[in-house]
Structure 1
Amino acid sequence: MNKTNMNIVILIYSMHSGGAERVTANLTNEWAKRGWQVTVITLAPKSMDFYELHSDISRIALDLAAESPSILKAFFSNLHRMIAIRRELRRLSPDIVLAMMVDSSILAILAGMRLGIPIIGAEHTYPPMDPTKLIWDRIRRWTYPHAARVVMLTSEGLSWLNDKIPNVHGAVIPNPVLYPLAVFEPKLIVESLVTADRKLLLAVGRMVESKQFDRLIEVFSMHVDLHQDWDLVILGDGPERQALKSQVQALGLKTRVHLPGQAGNMGDWYQRADLYVMSSRYEGFPNTLTEAMAHGCAAVSYDCDTGPRDIIRHGVDGLLVSPVGDVPALAEALHQLMQDDEVRQRMRQRAIEVRERYSLKAILTLWDKLFNEAVSNLITKKT
C-alpha cells in the first residue's frame, strides 16, 4: 500500500525547546506541506511551545503534564492521560500514530490497544545511558512488542532494543538535518556578543549535567592565554545554567565565555562559528551537531554513545575524543583545530556533506516506507 494523503497523529510530552521537539516540528511541518492531515498532541500546555508549526497542523494540548508526588498519584495521573489520549484517537481516527520518546510511546501503545491503529514508538536517546525509572522500564518491555514499530536513532540503539525486548519490531531512522534553518524568536544578534575580529567556539544544548558544559568551560579556561582571539558561546537553557554562570565568574572568564540563553536564529550562529564543540556524556542523535556541520563547522566531540561517531568522520570533518569526559583529551583536540586555520578550513569544506548524508528528503523516504509497511500490515491482519 502507498497512502499518499495520510491522517497522522503525533504524541509528544511538549513542544518545548528540546531535540526531540525540534525533530517533531521539522517532520510534521513537512508532512503538512504535503497535504497530510497532521495533529500534534501534547500533555503539556501550548504555553510551553517553542517551535513553530505549519498553519495547517491541528494542535491539541491535553494540559495533563503535572508532576505526581506519589506512586499512587502517578498511576492515576497516567491512567487519566491514557484515557484522554484514547478519546482523541477515537475522535480523530488516524491512519497512524507516532509517539516521541519513552513515556509518550508507552502511553500511545496502551491508549491504542484494540483500536486498529498502528502505533509507532520512537526513542530519542540511547537507553543504556539514559535509563528510565524501573517501573517505566518494565512497562516498556511489556508494551513495546505491541507497537507496529519502535524507531531507534542508531544501529547501536536497535541492537540494544532487540537484545532487551524480545518480539519487538524495531527500525533505525536517524534525525534529518535541515539547511537552511527557520528563524523565529528569540533572536540573539551574534555581533552583540562576538565582534568580527574574534573567533567563535560554539556549543549548543540544554544545560543539564549530561552535556558536561562545566567540563567544556574548564577546558576553555586552559586555552584563554594560548588562544587570546577566541571566545566561547554556549547557547541554551536549563537547570544548570546558574551554576555554569557562577563557574564562569569564578574563573574570571566573563569577557570570554557567554551563556546568553536560547536563540531562534541558530543558523546565524552556526554560520558565524569557527568551530563547534560537543562535550556530552551521551547523546541519542545530536541535532545540533548535524546542523552545525551543515553550516560548514568543523566539529570536536567526545566519542560518546551514541551519534557523534555516526556523524563525524574523524580527521575528515572533525575530531572524536576519547575517553568521554577526559578534560585534557578534549583540550588537546580543541587546541589542534583552534591553532590550525588551514586544517580547520579543510574540515569545514567536508562538513557540509552532512546535508546530503542526512537530508530531509532521505529521512522522509525512510519514514514513508515505515508508515506504509505498518498500515499495509494492519490491513493484511484485518483481512
Structure 2
Amino acid sequence: MQNKKNIALLIGNLKDRAGSERIVADTANEFSEYNNVYIFVCGDKNTSYPINDNVKIISITREIPIGKVKQIVWYLSFILALNKSCKRYKIDCIVSHWTKLSICLPFVGRDVKKWAHEHQNDILLPLWLKKIKHMTYSKLDKISVLNITEQRNLKHTCNIYGVIIPGYVSNEFFTKENKNKNKNNKINKLLFVGRLVEEKQPLLLLELLKKSEFLLTDWELDIIGSGPFYNEIENNIKNHFGSKVKLLTPRDLLNDYQESKYILITSKTEGFGLTIIEAMSQGCVPISFNCESGPKNIISNNIDGFLLNTNEEFICMLNAIFNQTKKEYLFFSENALHKSTEYNYSDVMNIWNKQLGQLIK
C-alpha cells in the first residue's frame, strides 16, 4: 500500500452553513480515507458541518482584517504562516477554497502541489483581487470551477482551462423517508435561503412581494439567513407583512425544503446555487433571476423551475403560482426532483478524488 499523502484544505473559516464550507468538510472527510488531511483556517476553528476525527483543523493565522493597510500586513504574515504550516505538516498538496487566499498559493514551496477551487465568479471580486488573480492563477497546478459558464469565463479572462466540479446534494436528502415526505408535506409556502447581503437582494424580494398578490393570498414566506441586512429586513417585515413572513436564522434546512413549494432566488450572481439543488431534491421548485451563472446552469426554464429576466417577470410568476392547480405544481415538482439526481454526492466525490489523484500520483 502506498504511503499516505498529506493534504491541506484552505478556507477562511468553517463557521457558516454555506456551500464552500460544506464542500470543504465533505471533501476533507472523503480524502481522509486514504490520506492525512488538514484544514487550514484563519482564526476560529469551529465548524458547522461534521468533520471526521482523523481530520485536523489548524488555525494558522488570525482572520483577515478590515482596511487596506492592515490587509497588506496581514497578507505578508499569512504567506509566512502558510509556508510554515506546509513545512510543519509536510504538505504534498494544498486545495484553496477562497480566492482571497488562493492568490497566495504561488508563494508556497515548490514541492507542494497547488489547487484553487473557485466558488464565485469575478463579478463579486474587487478590481485589485481580479488583477492579482489573473497574474497568479497561471502559476497553479490545478484550477476547478462549478459550472461551464465559469469555465468559459476563466478561459476568457485568464486563458486558463478550469476543471468543472459541480455542487452536489448531500446523502441525507436522499433517504427513502425523505423521498416519501417531499410530496406529502407541502403547504403554500415560499422559501428564501441565503446570506442577507446586497448580492442576494433579499430586500428586493420583499418589494416584489408587495407588488404581487402575495398579501391577498394564504401563502407564507420563510427567509432563512443572517447578515448585515438582518435588522432592516426584520423591520420591513413588521411594518408590511406581519406573520405572513418569518425571518429565521440559519439551520438544518431539510424540513423547510420538504414543507415549501417554491424557493425564491433573487441573487445578482451565484457561483453555483447549492440551495437550489437541495431544494429540488425535496420537490421544492426554484424561481430565480437569470443571473450570469449558477441558476441557469441548473434550471431548465418552464420544466423544472423558472428563470426570469426582470422584476416585472418575477412578479408575474409569483402571481401565476398563487393561482396554480395542484396538477400544474406537481409537474414542476416532479421534474425538479428528477433534475436533482444529476447532482449525486458519490458521483461528484469521484471527480474530487480523481482530480486529487492526478495531482499527487
TM-score (norm 2): 0.90
The CA RMSD over aligned residues, in Å, is 2.2
Q: 1:3 to 1:239 in 2, by over 3 A?
A: farther
Deviations 1:269-327 (A, max 9, x none): 1111121111111100011111100111111111112111111111211111113xx2x
**CA distance in 1: counterparts of 2:226 and 2:244, whole angstroms:** 19
Aligned to 1:38: 37
Identity of aligned residues (%): 23
Residue 371 of structure 1 aligns to a residue whose secondary structure is helix
**CA distance in 1: counterparts of 2:243 and 2:334, whole angstroms:** 30
Aligned to 2:242: 254
**CA distance in 2: counterparts of 1:28 and 1:296, whole angstroms:** 29
Kindly report which structure 2 residues correspond to 1:129-278, keeping only aligned pairs within 5 A, or say none: 129-134=123-128, 136-166=129-159, 168-181=160-173, 199-221=188-210, 222-226=212-216, 228-251=217-240, 253-263=241-251, 265-278=252-265
Q: 1:347 aligns with which of 326, 329, 332?
A: 332
**CA distance in 2: counterparts of 1:161 and 1:361, whole angstroms:** 26
Aligned to 1:113: 109
Q: 1:178 to 1:359 in 2, by over 3 A?
A: same
Q: 1:234 to 1:3 in 2, by over 3 A?
A: farther
4+ residue segments displaced more than 6 Å = none
Q: 2:290 aligns with which of 272, 278, 303?
A: 303
Letter in 1 for 2:274: N
Q: 1:320 to 1:242 in 2, by over 3 A?
A: same
Q: How far has the Cα of 1:170 moved from its partner? A: 2.1
Structure 2 unpaired stretches of 5+:
175-184
Q: In 2, are the aligned partners of 1:312 and 1:318 still within 8 Å (CA)?
A: yes
**CA distance in 2: counterparts of 1:75 and 1:151, whole angstroms:** 27
Q: In 2, are the aligned partners of 1:179 and 1:295 still within 8 Å (CA)?
A: no
Q: How far has the Cα of 1:68 moved from its partner? A: 4.5
Q: How far has the Cα of 1:132 moved from its partner? A: 2.5
Q: 2:274 aligns with which of 287, 291, 309?
A: 287
Q: Structure 1 residues 157-166 or 8-17, which shifts more?
A: 157-166
Residue 27 of structure 1 aligns to a residue whose secondary structure is helix
Letter in 2 for 1:125: Q
Q: 1:197 to 1:303 in 2, by over 3 A?
A: closer
TM-score (norm 1): 0.85
Letter in 2 for 1:120: W
Q: 1:198 to 1:153 in 2, by over 3 A?
A: closer
Q: How far has the Cα of 1:338 moved from its partner? A: 3.1
Q: In 2, are the aligned partners of 1:207 and 1:213 still within 8 Å (CA)?
A: yes
Residue 9 of structure 2 aligns to a residue whose secondary structure is strand
Residue 8 of structure 1 aligns to a residue whose secondary structure is strand
Task: Tell me the matched-pair count.
Answer: 348
Q: In 1, are the aligned partners of 2:187 and 2:261 still within 8 Å (CA)?
A: no
